[in-house]
Structure 1
């Protein structure tokens, strides 16, 4: 009951924040919109209003995440910001905001060691296990590493610039970090179908530590790959389900508490480097805020970093 009341208070807070942020945004924009209205049609005016609504949504999300940082030392799927978004009516428009932490995913940019000369073998093993779980050829992992590394020597299943320059629309291998997840579509072997399979489980903007409270089953099943635990096997589907079931009523306030789920997981945490891959707090958040006025929709897609109690936008795009 306490959690439900907290959710209701959180939703009420979000609505209040949306209204307050929108009022401030309108105060700044009303004269600009008025000046432009003579030159724009109805669609143009509605588009501007949609963007204002979307900006109000991102502003409210920013404030809500700041408040969450003050109130909680860990992040879970039970917090109001992580619930499915319902449209909120403001005047004759609607705004819908979704917030998703990026620490529930595997960070592709962390597959390389900091110098960019070689892959981090443990993190690469985790990604390869994810590919296995999703039914994707492991050659994709080699191609991703070649896209990231700073040399021109292709791995067994990978590709460097000579391959990409031979395509009908040629381009160079990046040999650098991904700026967006969408860049994956440039990598050899990543078809549209493969991309859609990977999209819920990979990121290019995170702390590199997977949040045990928010990670989906497929990611949890990947995390034991590359560990040096002699016995006990890997985190299989059954064990991942046990973690998910346990955290529903007992959210992890410290990563070491995963040992409460089973002795195997306790050994995995205490006896291997598994502990370096997991945590209970999220730092990077993907915010999508859509404003809808009379069927015209504009969306702001943003990545925010929570530093202390502040949110800094790392990526911002209007769609």
Structure 2
């Protein structure tokens, strides 16, 4: 009996020791992972903070030297365009002394996590909010470009044409407009609430989209349509397209005659100084396209374009430590510049209405445009963040 009791006690003690050891190990791993995630998160935050400084520096440089540089102001874009990573990558061409100095500086740093951060132009996309803009030019231009994305896909993709060749995309664009419009009637006819009979009581929301993902909830929208639109649309646009920064999808939406080949040539030209470099103005841009044999439409000249600066940015920073990564996405927006641009469109259209027969052709950020003749003072403090996402 004594032997049995002794063996039993040893087993019980061993089991308790194993449980305590296991729980301690689990707790230790959980805490270590939490610490790693925290370090990775603040590494990503460091990338965002550095990006905000770069954007602010670019805005100050553009405000002070943009007009002096004239057509060469694109040199300032490298302030925000150039990707950055920590630790700083060491180029292969450096000599041993420079490599040792960089290695010594990195060793002295107290930051043991790493991050990679990029800054992209967010404003040169199709802004869905322009569908309900007070400017008729912005409304019509935005509607035309969204429809052109679908029409271009139908022409280029036989499978898409087979599935959606007879689909009325005008009604889908109207549904996107209805979501944001405060008018009770639908652009497709009737009361727009009838299209939301399967939705909760607070639909349609009659407000602007808060996130791009909300577009999925628009009646008539499916994943094929959303995946096609998502790279080219935004809710943080600068009310004009910058052809020197716009993606291939956005470039093709400017006019039906801009094919894949022409869009590729545009991207190649704007990135190569030997081929002409960035486009200087509308005449330079449209002239380049017509020189490739394109026959531009009648409404093309009304498309709002801008060439001299970028105001809205998307920051993507990824921090990593011990195999754990965290990502932060932030959108920076110059609200004052956007408001001034819209005001310039509206004022221009009012002038056109007082002159019957005239065609509204607003020229945003043109020195001859009264709304843009005097540059507004640069706001104090860091750039305005309008979106912040973490994962």
Query: Is the pair's TM-score, using the shorter chain for normalization, greater than 0.5?
Result: yes
C-alpha separation between the residues in 1 aligned to 2:36 and 2:244? 40
* TM superposition shift of 1:172: 0.6
- TM-score after normalising by structure 1: 0.71
Give the secondary-structure state (helix, strand or coil) at the position aligned to 1:53: helix
C-alpha separation between the residues in 2 aligned to 1:194 and 1:85? 34
Residues 143, 159 of structure 1: 8 Å contact kept: no
Give the secondary-structure state (helix, strand or coil) at the position aligned to 2:195: helix
Give the secondary-structure state (helix, strand or coil) at the position aligned to 1:235: coil
Q: Give the structure 1 partner of residue 301 of structure 2.
A: 274
Q: Give the structure 1 partner of residue 69 of structure 2.
A: none
Q: Give the structure 2 partner of residue 63 of structure 1.
A: 53
Q: Give the structure 1 partner of residue 262 of structure 2.
A: 239
Trace 1:184-223 onto structure 2 (pairs within 5 A): 184-223=215-254
* TM superposition shift of 1:48: 2.1
Q: Give the structure 1 partner of residue 127 of structure 2.
A: 107
The answer to whether 1:252 aligns with 2:252 is no
Residues 76, 214 of structure 1: 8 Å contact kept: no
C-alpha separation between the residues in 2 aligned to 1:257 and 1:119? 22
2:151 to 110, 132, 140: 132
Residues 141, 302 of structure 2: 8 Å contact kept: no
C-alpha separation between the residues in 2 aligned to 1:75 and 1:141? 35
2:43 to 36, 48, 53: 53
Residues 114, 320 of structure 2: 8 Å contact kept: yes
Per-residue deviation, residues 40-73 of structure 1 (Å, max 9, x unmatched): 8222222222221111111111111222334454
Q: Give the structure 1 partner of residue 324 of structure 2.
A: 296
2:192 to 131, 135, 160: 160
Higher-Rg structure is: 2
* TM superposition shift of 1:239: 3.4
Q: 1:158 to 1:211 in 2, by over 3 A?
A: farther
Cα root mean square deviation, aligned: 3.7
Q: 1:177 to 1:55 in 2, by over 3 A?
A: same
Q: How many residues align?
A: 270
Stretches of structure 2 that go unaligned for 5 or more consecutive residues are 1-27, 67-72, 89-108, 155-163, 338-377
Greater strand share, structure number? 1
Q: 1:268 to 1:254 in 2, by over 3 A?
A: farther
Q: 1:268 to 1:208 in 2, by over 3 A?
A: farther
* TM superposition shift of 1:162: 3.1
C-alpha separation between the residues in 2 aligned to 1:58 and 1:256? 37
The answer to whether 1:148 aligns with 2:148 is no
* TM superposition shift of 1:155: 3.3
Greater helix share, structure number? 2
Q: 1:68 to 1:158 in 2, by over 3 A?
A: farther
- TM-score after normalising by structure 2: 0.59
Stretches of structure 1 that go unaligned for 5 or more consecutive residues are 1-37, 226-233
C-alpha separation between the residues in 2 aligned to 1:295 and 1:61? 24
C-alpha separation between the residues in 2 aligned to 1:315 and 1:175? 21
Give the secondary-structure state (helix, strand or coil) at the position aligned to 1:286: strand
Residues 182, 207 of structure 2: 8 Å contact kept: yes
Per-residue deviation, residues 72-109 of structure 1 (Å, max 9, x unmatched): 54559983744666664784322121211112311111
Residues 55, 79 of structure 2: 8 Å contact kept: no
Q: 1:159 to 1:48 in 2, by over 3 A?
A: farther
Give the secondary-structure state (helix, strand or coil) at the position aligned to 2:388: strand
Residues 51, 119 of structure 2: 8 Å contact kept: yes
Q: 1:158 to 1:41 in 2, by over 3 A?
A: farther
Give the secondary-structure state (helix, strand or coil) at the position aligned to 1:95: strand
Q: 51-60 vs 67-76, which deviates more?
A: 67-76
The answer to whether 1:98 aligns with 2:99 is no
